[in-house]
Amino acid sequence: MKYYLIAGEASGDLHGANLMKSIVREDPNAAFRFWGGDLMQAVGGTLVTHYKERSFMGFIEILLNLPKILGFIKQCKKDISLYQPDVVILIDNSGFNLPIAKWAKLHGFSTHYYISPQIWASREGRIKTIKAYVDHMYVVLPFVKDFYDTYEYPVQFVGHPLIDAVADHQPVLPKDFKEKNGLDDRPIVAVLPGSRKQEIKKMLEVMLTVVEDFPEYQFIVAGAPSQNADFYQSFMKKKGVYLVMNQTYDLLSLSNAALVTSGTATLETALFKVPQVVCYKGSAISYQIAKRIINLDYISLVNLIMNKPIVTELIQSELNTKRLKEELTVILDEYKRAVMFLEYYDLEKKLGGKGASDKTAALIVESIK
Which one has a higher pLDDT value, 152 or 59?
A: 152
Residue 354 phi/psi, 5° resolution?
-75, 165
269 close to 194: Cβ distance less than 8 angstroms:
no
Which one has a higher pLDDT value, 284 or 360?
A: 360
Percent of the chain with pLDDT over 70: 92
175: pLDDT strictly greater than 90: yes
pLDDT confidence band for 352 (50 / 70 / 90): confident
> What single string gives the DSSP state of each residue in 243-260?
EEES-HHHHHHT-SEEEE
**pLDDT of amino acid 240:** 79
Range from 66-70, 134-138, 157-161, 349-353 carrying the lowest mean pLDDT:
66-70
**pLDDT of amino acid 285:** 53
144 close to 304: Cβ distance less than 8 angstroms:
no
Residue 236 phi/psi, 5° resolution?
-95, 15
**pLDDT of amino acid 210:** 96
CA 124/CA 120 separation, integer angstroms: 6
* Average pLDDT of span 174-194: 95
**pLDDT of amino acid 356:** 94
**pLDDT of amino acid 292:** 46
289: pLDDT strictly greater than 90: no
Q: What angle do the packed helices 321-331 and 197-207 form, to 10 degrees?
A: 80
**pLDDT of amino acid 156:** 96
Which strand (E) or helix (H) includes residue 195? none
Which one has a higher pLDDT value, 17 or 297?
A: 17
- Chain mean pLDDT for the chain: 90
pLDDT confidence band for 57 (50 / 70 / 90): low
Name which of 174, 163, 170 is nearest 273 in CA terms: 163
CA 103/CA 188 separation, integer angstroms: 48
Name which of 164, 93, 145 is nearest 356 in CA terms: 164
92 close to 113: Cβ distance less than 8 angstroms:
no
284: pLDDT strictly greater than 80: no
- The tens digit of pLDDT for each residue in 292-340 reads 445 567 889 999 999 999 999 999 889 999 999 999 999 999 888 899 9
**pLDDT of amino acid 297:** 77
**pLDDT of amino acid 226:** 78
pLDDT confidence band for 61 (50 / 70 / 90): low
- Distant-in-sequence, close-in-space partners of 165: CB < 8 Å, separation ≥ 6: 14, 18, 249, 268
What are the chain's domains?
2-160+352-368 (3.40.50.2000), 167-350 (3.40.50.2000)
> What single string gives the DSSP state of each residue in 96-163?
HHHHHHHHHHHTT--EEEES--STTTB-GGGHHHHHHH-SEEEESSHHHHHHHHHTT---EE---HHH
288: pLDDT strictly greater than 70: no
63: pLDDT strictly greater than 70: no
